[in-house]
Amino acid sequence: MKEKIFFQTATVRLICFLFLLGGSQSLVHGQLTDFTLRDPLAHTAQDNWLRPDSTFNRSRFRIAAGTGTALYGVASIGLYQTWYSDFDMTGLHSFNDWPQWNQMDKAGHMFTAYMFTRYSFSGLRWAGLKRPAARYTAMGVGNLLQATIEVMDGYSAEWGFSWSDLGANLTGTVVFAAQDALWHEQRILIKVSSDLRQHPDIPIINQNGAMSNLGDISRERFGTNFFEKYLKDYNAQTYWLSANPRSFLPKSKIPHWLNISLGYGVENVYGAYGNTWARGRERFNYPNQRYRQWYLSPDIYFSRIPTKKRGVRLLLGILDSFKLPAPALEFSQGRFRAHWLQ
């Protein structure tokens, strides 16, 4: 309860601060920032190495490509250790996993592909590539990086190559590319959040009188450390479409940084198809109904918070992948619920 009160108070204070900051920045600059430009801070920030180049810069391109390759290698190793190292490998094969996990894994694929594409595009524009070239190159990079997961799945005895995963990957990259082609900006972001809940300590007794615990299967399937839980725990995750009203209503007085988000999550999902597991010869079932959740919540477009510092805007752009914990309205199981933070 104390943590919820703390985050609620912090969120309110941050929003109030941003309203004041937005007003003061408007008075200082005397003009509105154009987020469709290659360099939105061209008229406010001092020139430094973070300023995007206006023409193709070979050395910057090599830096962007090298940095991306290094991060890709680290992420691939981490992903393998988290998801695949404990399972046997087999020949390349495919299977239909669309019905699994109430499609939360598909939302994760779409989010990750969108994130990769957005970051790649920013790096390519910084290196001086023209907008169309950067857009479609980034789209290719996003799909290529996600294809690594499908190759790992395809050789894992536990999973398999998934065409629906490829479709989700393509959707995420198209969401980025279509917006950039249409508006030259991202008016709708794809984001993720997690409440990082504790594993449930719920004893389960089967019809034979044998005992298990839901927390044990939760730890086994969703992991125990921060990275594993953030990546795997679908019950704790929510995926969001975060829209920027000011982009659609440019003459309004809505702050540039204020978004409205529609979220999707699930609850009581502890297995791909159902909440069952085995311990030796005994089988167990968690009887609570699995269900979907829909959310409506305010959010912040972090990279549109007024700043004169390119480094600050770079860090804020990284935060754009994450939903700000804020009050939310949930619709699930045929009724509405209110949350202080989601």
pLDDT digits (tens, 9 = 90+) for 196-214: 899 999 999 999 999 999 9
Quote the pLDDT of residue 5. Answer: 44
- Calpha distance 246→160 (Å, rounded): 43
Would the pTM count as exceeding 0.75?
yes
Quote the pLDDT of residue 150. Answer: 78
| Per-residue model confidence as pLDDT tens for the chain (342 residues) | 444 444 444 454 555 444 444 444 443 343 468 999 999 998 888 889 999 999 999 999 999 988 888 887 787 777 777 667 666 677 677 777 888 999 999 999 999 999 999 999 999 999 999 999 999 999 999 998 888 877 777 677 677 678 898 999 999 999 999 999 999 999 999 999 999 899 999 999 999 999 999 999 999 999 888 888 998 999 999 999 999 999 999 999 999 999 999 999 999 999 999 999 999 999 999 999 999 999 999 999 999 999 999 999 999 999 999 999 999 999 999 999 999 988
Residue type, 331: F
Quote the pLDDT of residue 138. Answer: 96
The DSSP H or E segment spanning 284 is strand 282-285
Torsion of CA 300, 304, 306, 309, to 10 degrees: 120
Quote the pLDDT of residue 14. Answer: 52
Quote the pLDDT of residue 235. Answer: 97
Q: How many residues does the chain have?
A: 342
- Calpha distance 13→320 (Å, rounded): 19
Quote the pLDDT of residue 27. Answer: 37
SS3 of residue 213 by DSSP: strand
